[in-house]
Chains A and B, each alone.
Chain A
Amino acid sequence: MSKINLSEPEVETREKRLGSITGFTGTASQLVHCSRNKGLEDIPRSFSQCMGCSSSTALCQLSLIQDAVVINHAPVGCSGDFAKFDFLNIVGQIERNLPKTQGRYFSTNLEEKDTIFGAAEKLEFAIREVYKRVNPRAIFITTSCVSGIIGDDVETVANALTEELKIPVAACFCEGFKSRIWTTGFDSAFHAIVRKIVKPPQKKTNKVNIINFFGSHIFDELLGRLGYQADYIVPYSTVTQLEHISEAAATIQICPTLGTYLGAALEQVYGVPEIKSPPAYGIKGTDNWMRELGRVLHKEEEIEEIIKSEHERVIPKINEYREELKGKSAYLTAGAAHGHAIIALLRELGLEVKGAAIFHHDPLYDNQDPASDALAHAVHTYGDVKNYNVCNKQTFELINILNREKPDLMVARHPGMVIWGAKLGIPTFLMDDEQFGFGYQGVINYAEKILETLDTIEFTKNMAKHSRLPYTKWWLEQNPFMYLGGGYCAKNY
């Protein structure tokens, strides 16, 4: 049972907290069944390729808080993602008309001698130096494999410097080796924010927290009609804005894989109700989510009116797209909850879902409510997915499967995967804006995106003709899960 515990400096990993796993092969309904009956066991791979780690996912949220700075307590290599996040920062500022400011991210540049003598002093020096130079509203410290293994007491340093500098100095524990599930880093970042930034509510407001990545502001109109105001967090927010998220009327998750911990923490600690239905993808999924939103905000009647008018608006168009997409098949690869959303969208548009490679699986979210189970919802509403594979970005498995299944289309929700569809001549697109497919309009957006992608057939065929695969012929003929132990129903292929 997951209970939010703010007195602990570290949040437990998803494996420990939620029983999440990174290896499974079978059907989606089997996975749902196992999840409900505590029959889920993680299967390690004997061969694997590079994944990702919690330190980047933590930075992904913290680096975009506009008036905070981040100190990465690590060797210089761990700061390789700084520029990537500053680019996101710049793009987001342009889209949102925010002042153009550079992201301020620092590395403590740990060296060999620090692994012997410890580097807590170096961290203290860095915090003071950064404070002097930048004068930020808050300082976040993200930890690393090295700082974790050598045992630097980052929490004590953070607390002492909070006292000294009179601004929040928050430790965020996101050592890469601690979790195989890199989304644990989101939980670490949110734990640091709820512990050190968010203040107890002084009043209730008409704001609704939208826990999201970098997506478009699609909730303004809907919430406006209901008399509420959308507050998009955490990227592009400010420290002051985050201090008050405890006062919101509700919390919406664009993707529970991202926001499970923050949504649950705000509800358990400050009583902000979380919309627990799986996010609104597909028509039925959106109906379900809208009704839950109406219930929480006490706007049931208005919601029914919106559902009715939106159905009238979008369903005839969707039917046309269904005709156009008839007989097409798709394969998808994505993080957990958004993967489930893509299944719903593809099925809603009448595509055959040949299978899915999903990066991890959370049997339940931090709210412990089965109503939030997005996979169960996708299976019940849209039917089972036969080849459902939990595979944390293992491209060798993906290539093997794609080569067998030869779908007409691949959809990916993570950079680094798209190229493999194209190399096999399969039109593929990357969708990393969760808002794009959200709600009723999202189904139409998706249909248009799919048609546009299927139209890239000349490019993809040519790409395939001139691409080399770094995999042996032998491998392409093997069971794609042969390195995935002999675990639960590993015999599907």
Chain B
Amino acid sequence: MLKIIEQPRYTCALGVQQTVVAIERAIPILHSGPGCCSKITGIIGQGDGYSGGNSIPCSNISESEVIYGGEEKLRGVINGSFEVMDADLFVVLTGCTADIVGDDVKRVTGEYQEQGKPIVFVETGGFKSNNYVSHEAVVKAIIDQYVEKYADDKSIIKGLVNVFATLPYQDPFWNGNLEEIKRVLEGIGLKVNVLFGPGSGGVSEWLTVPKAQFNIVLSAWAGLGIVKHLEDKYGTPYLHIPYLPVGGTETSKFLRLVGKIGEIDPGITEDFIQSEEKKFYAHIERMADFLLEFKYGLPRKFYSILDASYSIGISKYLLNELGIIPAKQFIIDNTPEEYQALIKEEFRQISEYRSADVFFEINAGAVHEQIRQDNIKNRVLILGSCWESNLAKELKADLLILSVPVTFRLVLDCGYFGYKGGLRIIEDIYDRVLETYR
């Protein structure tokens, strides 16, 4: 079946330029057409940061490189990057044009690697996959071509974990999520490599990846290839949680699981959980008055149009801790078939009392038609992207934007993972509900 895409919510393989931008003092070098970078930041790049967006070095492939090859051009850009740009690591990424033309980027980058320069390459021709898939490729490339070479000491440090959670920038709340992940894991006594963002230790933190006692993946499927690779390469075991834990129940469950795998003294874990839950449920208790008494209408059902990790995590939380019932859930991250059963199973047993219907659809535009067919009578909540703005108005639904493109939101360190994320999502949902009466 041919699939066209209306209202895209992810980008092409080259979208991982944002994965590189998210590493402190790492800079991507694009061997691609002139417009690729701005197309990518158009959907998953709020803010240029240290050296994203217009500052990204690029060979801006033109007609002559398409005809005669672009390896010389790429050399010029790499030379210039080392002279002009102040970075700890460069990652060469190819676009569609370079890959179709067949430039030998491995050879060109290899010349610099031989000179001992901190540079890595990955083939990310846009048409080859999407950024969920190529995120794994770029992380693996950094490990194989850089970490492996420059990490002198690969001995295990007990209590050190690498966390691979949602994708930087594809998840608009990656920064806040990583901060909370780091906070709670440190809370039970672990040392945490989050690898991305200002809360990480940058490239030197990457050099400690092989030293981890174990790895954690908080993602339905994207990123699983990374930890499998690390298991093969360094023998590091991993814990796979196929969603983003949100709120009291799921975060505590997550910490107990981590504590068990990490052989942490259960007393430490339980003490931390107890102090966090005490705070968390004090807020829930305080908020329950509003939830039960507000008489002008609150959404009782929700639709989500999200990637798999968010979809499962948020659905579990809204149902089990806020009492909002899942209507149809649409997963729009092009989930590979082999993982769909696992995700369906999570929705089948979403609570003790019910299951939820889940649909996999890459043409998110078509999802709107499916929601309209539901003949909605009561107030609903939509968890989606800026594309749902008109739909929400038409259905008089409340819309909370959790997916790219975010357009109508400005995101700094907001995150929805964990105890803090659970509270934050309550604020954000009911803020939008109350806003309708303003």
Contacts and interface: CB of A to CB of B under 8 A. Distances in A.
A432 to B, nearest CB: 15
Interface string A451-473: 00000000000000000111110
Contact of A49 (B54, B62, B95, B365): B54
A321 B51 CA distance: 37
Contact of A78 (B59, B77, B80, B126): B126
Contacts of B66: 149, 177
18 contacts: A47-B84, A52-B38, A54-B35, A75-B126, A76-B130, A77-B12, A77-B13, A80-B39, A81-B38, A83-B42, A130-B4, A145-B95, A176-B33, A177-B34, A177-B61, A177-B63, A180-B62, A470-B87
Closest 5 CB pairs of A and B: A47-B80, A53-B35, A77-B12, A470-B51, A83-B405
B86 A177 contact: no
Contacts of A470: 27, 50-51, 55, 85-87
Contact of A77 (B34, B39, B101, B387): B39
Interface string B52-92: 01111111111101100000000011011101111100000
Interface of B: 2-8, 10-15, 27, 30, 33-44, 48, 50-51, 53-63, 65-66, 76-77, 79-81, 83-87, 95-97, 100-101, 126-128, 130, 362, 365, 385-387, 389-390, 393, 405, 407
A: contact size bracket: 35 or more
B42 A180 contact: no
A86 B95 CA distance: 25
B55 A150 contact: no
A115 interface: yes
A395 B50 CA distance: 13
A189 interface: no
Contact of A419 (B48, B81, B130): B48
A28 to B, nearest CB: 24
Given A76-B126, A144-B96, A176-B36, 19 more contacts: A50-B34, A78-B12, A83-B8, A84-B42, A105-B6, A115-B127, A126-B2, A145-B61, A146-B96, A149-B101, A150-B100, A177-B63, A178-B62, A178-B63, A393-B54, A416-B53, A468-B50, A475-B83, A475-B84
A106 B5 contact: yes
Interface of A: 46-56, 71, 75-84, 86-87, 90, 100-102, 104-112, 114-115, 122, 125-126, 129-130, 144-146, 149-150, 176-180, 182, 393, 395-396, 416-417, 419, 468-472, 474-475, 483
A51 B11 contact: no
A440 to B, nearest CB: 34
B4 A48 contact: no
A471 B56 CA distance: 11
Contacts of A86: 386-387
Given A100-B390, A416-B53, A417-B54, A50 B60 contact: yes
A83 B127 contact: no
Contacts of A100: 390, 393
B4 A79 contact: no
B86 A472 contact: yes
A90 B389 contact: yes
B36 A474 contact: no
Nearest to B127: A75
Q: Which of the listed residues A100, A145, A419 has the most CB atoms from chain B within 10 Å of its own CB?
A: A145
A471 B54 contact: no
Contacts of A474: 83
Q: Which of the listed residues A75, A108, A111, A179 has the most CB atoms from chain B within 10 Å of its own CB?
A: A75
Nearest to B77: A47
Q: Which of the listed residues A102, A114, A470, A472 has the most CB atoms from chain B within 10 Å of its own CB?
A: A470
Contacts of B76: 46-47
Given A102-B390, A149-B66, A177-B65, A52 B34 contact: yes
A422 B103 CA distance: 38
Contacts of A50: 30, 34, 36-38, 53-58, 60
A115 B95 CA distance: 13
Nearest to A101: B390
Nearest to B2: A125
Contacts of B386: 83, 86-87
Contacts of A126: 2, 4
A48 B56 CA distance: 9
A108 to B, nearest CB: 6
Contact of B4 (A106, A144, A145, A395): A106
Given A47-B57, A53-B34, A80-B42, A145 B96 contact: yes
A196 to B, nearest CB: 21
A177 B61 CA distance: 6
B126 A472 contact: no
Contacts of A49: 54-58
B5 A77 contact: no
B14 A177 contact: no
Given A90-B389, A108-B4, A115-B127, A53 B86 contact: no
Contact of A149 (B50, B80, B97, B407): B97
Given A77-B15, A180-B60, A111 B127 contact: yes
A295 to B, nearest CB: 40
A104 B7 CA distance: 8
Contacts of B33: 53, 145, 176-177
B20 to A, nearest CB: 13
Given A48-B57, A83-B43, A145-B96, A107 B5 contact: yes
B86 A51 contact: no
A483 B80 contact: yes
A395 B55 contact: yes
A295 B35 CA distance: 41
A77 B55 contact: no
B34 A110 contact: no
A402 to B, nearest CB: 14
Contacts of A179: 62
Given A49-B55, A50-B54, A472-B84, A56 B35 contact: yes
A469 B8 CA distance: 33
Contacts of A75: 12, 96, 126-127
A135 B7 CA distance: 17
Contacts of A149: 66, 96-97, 100-101
Contact of B97 (A83, A111, A145, A483): A145
Given A177-B62, A470-B85, A122 B6 contact: no
Contacts of A111: 127-128
A86 to B, nearest CB: 8
Contacts of B15: 77
Contacts of B387: 83, 86, 102
Given A78-B39, A107-B8, A472 B34 contact: no
A316 to B, nearest CB: 41
Contacts of A122: 2
A391 to B, nearest CB: 12
B35 A176 contact: yes
A55 B7 CA distance: 17
Contact of A48 (B6, B50, B77, B96): B77
Given A76-B8, A78-B126, A472 B85 contact: yes
Nearest to B35: A53
